[in-house]
Structure 1
Amino acid sequence: MPRSREAACHPALCLVVCMFLLVAPTGSARSQPAPAAGGASGQAASAATPTPVPPAFSTSVTREVLVAALGFLEPRTLEAHSARDFCVWGLDGLTAIDPTLSVTETQSAALEPTTAHTPGTAMAAEKTADASAHAPAILNVLQGQAVIFSRTMPAADSNGAWADLVTAAMQEAWQHSSILRNAGSDALLQGFFDELFNHLDPYSRYLGPSPAMSDRTRRTGNTGTVGLSLGQSGRTIVITAVNANGPAWEAGVDMGERLVSVNGRTTRGQDVATVQAWLDGDEHTAVTLGIAAKGHRTTTVRLERAQVPPETVFASTDGPFTVLRVTSFSTQTAEEISQYIDQVVDEPTPDAPSQPADRKKAAGIIIDLRGDRGGVLQQAVTTAALLLDHGVAVTTHGRNPLANHIWAVQGGDMTNGTPVAILVDGRTASAAEILASALADHRRAVVIGSETLGKGLVQVIGQMPNGGELFVTWSRNQAPLGWPIQGLGVMPQICTSLGTDSLQAQISALKQGNTLQAEAVQMARAARYPVPVSKILEIRKHCPAAIGSDADMDAARALLSSPAAYRAALESVPDENSAPLH
């Protein structure tokens, strides 16, 4: 579809505390084992095989990471836990790597009375029992039946002392276990955090330095590119895609144009990989492109390389309707959506005031969130602000005061009230669920599909001294009408997972001003935290989670083609005045 050559920017009001992620992980990340280092033998030169030197354990790095992690975790987890809890849980990671190792707790031995039948014996025994009850606990690491490490446990909230203890325990285990040495230092930290987070929730996790770097790149983009994807047509290099987040988009470069030269070097006869490499370089450096549209002369475009987050929004048309497929919520997703919305509605003239009346109302917008696992919370809120005049997008609730926030938006609907349908399925999660619930609860969009995943927990990211990252769940999401997203997911106003006959009946009823999903929708909106598992299952069975299908798009077209059906579906969600926040 054609696109504007000018980037639009539509900020929403939101409080930025840190980087908040709402994403349903597809699997746990673990560091790759590091190869063992070898060394030369100190024996006579005639020795045929050098004796291997065990790899060194990174004591200082391990302690620094543990101190930082304990300080980050303690004030942020949803439930209060001490350094003792975190460390005792985490040390079980040694067993996960080497099953011959185990971690136990014992009490230090109490003094026994020296006289068995003299006056005061009973009192002495009572004092001994008291001493035993208050004796300091001992943490032990065993290999098989042999104790290889034993140390008195420090005070429960002494982060530094616990970091020292864990580091020492790991170092001793390292010396005794070839399995740990072969796994490497990074694996010990990964195992520690994996076991620790097993006691919290499914979404808190640790990423070691290498996977953390990859994850940051996914969120924020690589350094130094212009945002072009290239293809080949004979001996000619052709632009196949323009990333809406990059400098090439802002400069007006279009798909289908020929890339004739890069910094004066001709691209003719070169392969795509070579030319793509010419485009990349250090951030803020300049690159000059020779661009030629079909039938036009070559023009020169000078661009400055920049960080370009991966594109997450892909636009197409379906008859009179615009379809925006959102694959995730990265740092630029809302900006991408705003640029595409600008193509759907007419821009006001430069000398006219920017009023909603200056914009046309399009036939309809379909936002496809199927398979969207989420991403950055602020981006979901900012996207909601593009379509809402004002209101609460989501509220977050946690133990840390900074985790409690009302994410309100204001500024005005960019689309002048264009009808919106949102497609979801059983894989739609977290930030995508926030957007769907915000627009549905404000009667701004109709949600179509099946029950979503139900991931309503927010993670805050902590950078560790070794380059790794902690993702720690610190708040729960509550939709605008007061129901918790966690576990429940979003109940669609039109359910496509109950079969063709049910879907046809729903559409027919909506065209008559009735909705067959009203009871299920209202039951879901009436739920309040904490919701028992039995209640969650009872609600979700009214529209079982499923993988998206063509029926979703068929239902969206039918809905947007009937104003009566669209209005009835919107009104199946309770009015905000009848659904108190608490």
Structure 2
Amino acid sequence: MKHLRPLLLLVFLGWGSAVVAASAAPDAYHHVQFAQIAATALAFIAPRSLDAVPVRQLALWGLQGVASLDPRLTVEHRAPGRGTADSKAGSLVLLLSSGSAAAREIFARPAPTDDDAISWGSEGAALTQAAWDASDPLRRAGQMRIVAAFFDEIFTHFDPYSRYVPPAEAAADRIRRNGRGGIGVTVETRAGAFVIAAVQTGGPAAEAKVVVGERILAVDQQTIQGADQQALTALLAGPDGTQVSLTLRGRDGKPRNVTMERALLPPETVFAHSQDGILIIRVSAFVANTAGRIAQEIIRASGDGVGPPSAPIAGIVLDLRGNRGGLLRQAVAAAAMLLSEGSVAITIGRDPAAAHDYRADGRDLSSGLPVVVLVDGGTASSAEILAAALADQRRAVVVGSATLGKGLVQTLAPLPDGGDLVLTWSRVLAPRLWPIQGLGVLPQLCTSMGAAATARQIEQLGEGRQPMLAALIRHRAARPTTPPAEVLDIRAPCPSGEGNAHDLSAARSLLMSPSRYATALLPAAPPPSRLGIAAPVARPVTAATVTMGTGNARSARSQDLTTPASVSD
């Protein structure tokens, strides 16, 4: 993403401020804006996609998608010497058929060279203008549908996760990823009053010492008596950096006024509690502050880093069940806080900026406490990266079922229409060099076969035998070239399933028995051979980075995404 700004400058150079807002006339065709969208996308995709595809081919796919909105339209690229408007690169032609008559050319221009994104964007916009002028179905579809059709056809030739995100959906995704302006409180209605039910760590309300249980009497000196929850939420929210004043009443019955500055607050994704000497941390997704929040909970459970903890913690459970992923670097940072050294994840892509060897280089915030990671069939992408890293480095035991197997990384580019382009640009390898894509994480203690099978495995671990050992060794020996049929066979010993009540009790049985836990860990292994894998750029990640550098929501747009298409990035 570091290369995006000069790329956009190049694309927009010469068009100046000619961007036309689609919202001004939603059914009109905006030639200049379409050219900008197409050129920006083509220039972004061509050097970054997992497999090399020329700009010309990308553009032709997109224009064929536009033509698919009217069956009478056909887009052709004719070789040199075959077109009425020719160049060394051939010609770009749009045909319109009418009944039984032969199709006639309604557009013919010399084709740009194979990798000229700006010219292909410009010529593609001109061809689309000709199609618009000649086609009632295109005019009925409108520009937004035309743009969507352009990208739909391109991405049918890619993986399931690369996609175009329309403006409204993109705006909502940004809020989910980066947060919205607010003060960081959860409010409930109790006996007709609005009561602070939760205060988000690190948010404006926490800094202003707002506490759970206080009642809200007024917002900006306006009484909220008679207001509903939706109206109160609207009053509390607002642009980042603006101020809001609350009148609160605490348990002492005295009102007080507190003024806060709204901030971008990512949604809360980390929920922690201690039970029977075990710190249980549930992580629902990886957003801009997730790693920092995990670090806070580990440090808090250890006595806030000052003196011994008041209630000693025997181990940690990281509950990643149902976690569909999020920001890659947040998962990497979360792994690094539990590792003092070693590889966390390796990403491989054509673009040098997509290739990284993420390595822990700091200290284990938990001081070596045993860790169990809970997973299920809904655990995906960034969550799988975290689980794989801790398991491969013998830092955790994974309990549950085989995970989804989503090991592709997406990068994001904003488009001139306000939409986003989400493009897969790298594959993820775990520290032992097996691919997460397709394989997923195979647990060391499988709970998806039922309570009786889980109990037998725990008993065998207590006897010093690891029943999953052969399956785990085979799983870790897989490589990106492993055939799909073999991948399915490798996953078979622990079928994917939903998390169940046995998971946490199984985790507890491991954490309370050092011998069972030690037997469940993966066997030590020499560093795997990287033969045939290009050396990526080493990216050290430290605990200091986690606790100090992960709270800036504004940096999230430049981070890689690893979430499936069905979930916000």
Corresponding residue of 2:51: 79
- d(CA) in 2 for partners of 1:135 and 1:329? 46
Corresponding residue of 1:415: 366
Structure 1 pair 460/171, CA: closer, same or farther in 2 (3 Å)? same
Report the 3-state secondary structure (helix = DSSP H, G, I; strand = E; otherwise coil) of the residue aligned with 1:81.
Answer: coil
Corresponding residue of 2:526: 577
Report the 3-state secondary structure (helix = DSSP H, G, I; strand = E; otherwise coil) of the residue aligned with 2:291.
Answer: helix
Aligned ranges for residues 214-253 of structure 1 at < 5 Å? 214-222=172-180, 224-253=181-210
Displacement, 1:317?
4.0
- d(CA) in 1 for partners of 2:97 and 2:199? 58
Corresponding residue of 2:479: 528
Structure 1 pair 135/521, CA: closer, same or farther in 2 (3 Å)? closer
- d(CA) in 2 for partners of 1:90 and 1:422? 43
Report the 3-state secondary structure (helix = DSSP H, G, I; strand = E; otherwise coil) of the residue aligned with 1:555.
Answer: helix
Displacement, 1:403?
1.3
Amino acid at match of 2:524: D
Corresponding residue of 2:35: 63
Corresponding residue of 2:469: 518
Instruction: Answer yes or no: is the 8 Å Cα contact 1:284–1:304 preserved in 2.
Output: yes
Corresponding residue of 2:12: none
Corresponding residue of 1:495: 446
Instruction: Answer yes or no: is the 8 Å Cα contact 1:348–1:359 preserved in 2.
Output: no
Amino acid at match of 1:102: T
Corresponding residue of 2:357: 406
Pair 1:436-2:403 in alignment: no
Displacement, 1:253?
2.7
- d(CA) in 2 for partners of 1:393 and 1:320? 28
Pair 1:198-2:147 in alignment: no
Normalising by structure 2, we get a TM-score of 0.83
2:246 corresponds to which of 277, 289, 302? 289
Displacement, 1:346?
0.9
Aligned ranges for residues 7-26 of structure 1 at < 5 Å? none
Pair 1:260-2:211 in alignment: no
- d(CA) in 1 for partners of 2:89 and 2:441? 52
| Corresponding residue pairs, total | 508
Structure 1 pair 162/529, CA: closer, same or farther in 2 (3 Å)? same
Pair 1:185-2:143 in alignment: yes
Report the 3-state secondary structure (helix = DSSP H, G, I; strand = E; otherwise coil) of the residue aligned with 1:387.
Answer: coil
Displacement, 1:358?
8.1
Corresponding residue of 1:89: 61
Structure 1 pair 141/426, CA: closer, same or farther in 2 (3 Å)? farther
2:375 corresponds to which of 410, 419, 424? 424
Report the 3-state secondary structure (helix = DSSP H, G, I; strand = E; otherwise coil) of the residue aligned with 1:337.
Answer: helix
2:304 corresponds to which of 337, 347, 368? 347
Aligned ranges for residues 468-479 of structure 1 at < 5 Å? 468-479=419-430
Q: Percent identity?
A: 42
Displacement, 1:314?
1.9
Report the 3-state secondary structure (helix = DSSP H, G, I; strand = E; otherwise coil) of the residue aligned with 1:486.
Answer: coil
Instruction: Answer yes or no: is the 8 Å Cα contact 1:107–1:137 preserved in 2.
Output: yes
Corresponding residue of 1:376: 327
Corresponding residue of 2:500: 549
Amino acid at match of 2:135: S
Amino acid at match of 1:161: S
Report the 3-state secondary structure (helix = DSSP H, G, I; strand = E; otherwise coil) of the residue aligned with 2:189.
Answer: strand
Corresponding residue of 1:213: 171
Corresponding residue of 1:331: 288
- d(CA) in 1 for partners of 2:511 and 2:481? 36
- d(CA) in 2 for partners of 1:181 and 1:414? 60
Amino acid at match of 2:55: A
User: Highest CA radius of gyration, 1 or 2?
Assistant: 1
- d(CA) in 2 for partners of 1:442 and 1:361? 25
Displacement, 1:92?
2.4
User: Structure 2: 5+ residue runs without aligned partners?
Assistant: 6-21, 532-569
Corresponding residue of 1:29: none
Pair 1:136-2:90 in alignment: yes
Corresponding residue of 1:146: 103
- d(CA) in 1 for partners of 2:197 and 2:265? 17
- d(CA) in 2 for partners of 1:550 and 1:96? 50
Instruction: Answer yes or no: is the 8 Å Cα contact 1:206–1:470 preserved in 2.
Output: yes
Displacement, 1:18?
8.1
Pair 1:393-2:344 in alignment: yes
2:267 corresponds to which of 310, 315, 340? 310
- d(CA) in 1 for partners of 2:3 and 2:126? 35
Corresponding residue of 1:504: 455
Displacement, 1:60?
0.3
- d(CA) in 2 for partners of 1:80 and 1:378? 25
- d(CA) in 1 for partners of 2:33 and 2:203? 37
Structure 1 pair 328/465, CA: closer, same or farther in 2 (3 Å)? same
- d(CA) in 1 for partners of 2:327 and 2:133? 42
Deviations 1:26-73 (A, max 9, x none): xxxxxxxx9997xxxxxxxxxxxxxxxx94311000001111111111
- d(CA) in 1 for partners of 2:498 and 2:3? 35
1:160 corresponds to which of 107, 112, 118? 118
Structure 1 pair 358/17, CA: closer, same or farther in 2 (3 Å)? farther
Larger displacement relative to structure 2 (441-450 or 87-96): 87-96
Amino acid at match of 2:54: S
- d(CA) in 2 for partners of 1:159 and 1:35? 26
Pair 1:449-2:407 in alignment: no
Displacement, 1:462?
1.0
Amino acid at match of 1:253: V
- d(CA) in 2 for partners of 1:252 and 1:213? 31
Instruction: Answer yes or no: is the 8 Å Cα contact 1:494–1:506 preserved in 2.
Output: yes
Amino acid at match of 1:557: R
Displacement, 1:318?
4.0
Report the 3-state secondary structure (helix = DSSP H, G, I; strand = E; otherwise coil) of the residue aligned with 2:140.
Answer: helix
Report the 3-state secondary structure (helix = DSSP H, G, I; strand = E; otherwise coil) of the residue aligned with 2:161.
Answer: coil
Report the 3-state secondary structure (helix = DSSP H, G, I; strand = E; otherwise coil) of the residue aligned with 2:177.
Answer: helix
Deviations 1:274-306 (A, max 9, x none): 333332233222223333443464444332111
Displacement, 1:383?
0.9
- d(CA) in 1 for partners of 2:284 and 2:3? 25
- d(CA) in 1 for partners of 2:23 and 2:97? 23
- d(CA) in 2 for partners of 1:530 and 1:272? 54
Structure 1 pair 135/409, CA: closer, same or farther in 2 (3 Å)? closer
- d(CA) in 2 for partners of 1:93 and 1:425? 38
Report the 3-state secondary structure (helix = DSSP H, G, I; strand = E; otherwise coil) of the residue aligned with 1:577.
Answer: coil
Corresponding residue of 2:435: 484
Instruction: Answer yes or no: is the 8 Å Cα contact 1:361–1:416 preserved in 2.
Output: no
Corresponding residue of 2:316: 365
Corresponding residue of 2:560: none
Amino acid at match of 2:454: L
Amino acid at match of 2:351: N
Deviations 1:138-197 (A, max 9, x none): 533434553343444332122222112211221122122222222211211111111111
Amino acid at match of 1:506: Q
Instruction: Answer yes or no: is the 8 Å Cα contact 2:184–2:200 preserved in 1.
Output: yes
Amino acid at match of 2:432: L
Instruction: Answer yes or no: is the 8 Å Cα contact 2:77–2:90 preserved in 1.
Output: no
Amino acid at match of 1:63: A
Structure 1 pair 387/227, CA: closer, same or farther in 2 (3 Å)? same
Displacement, 1:432?
0.7
Structure 1 pair 250/98, CA: closer, same or farther in 2 (3 Å)? farther
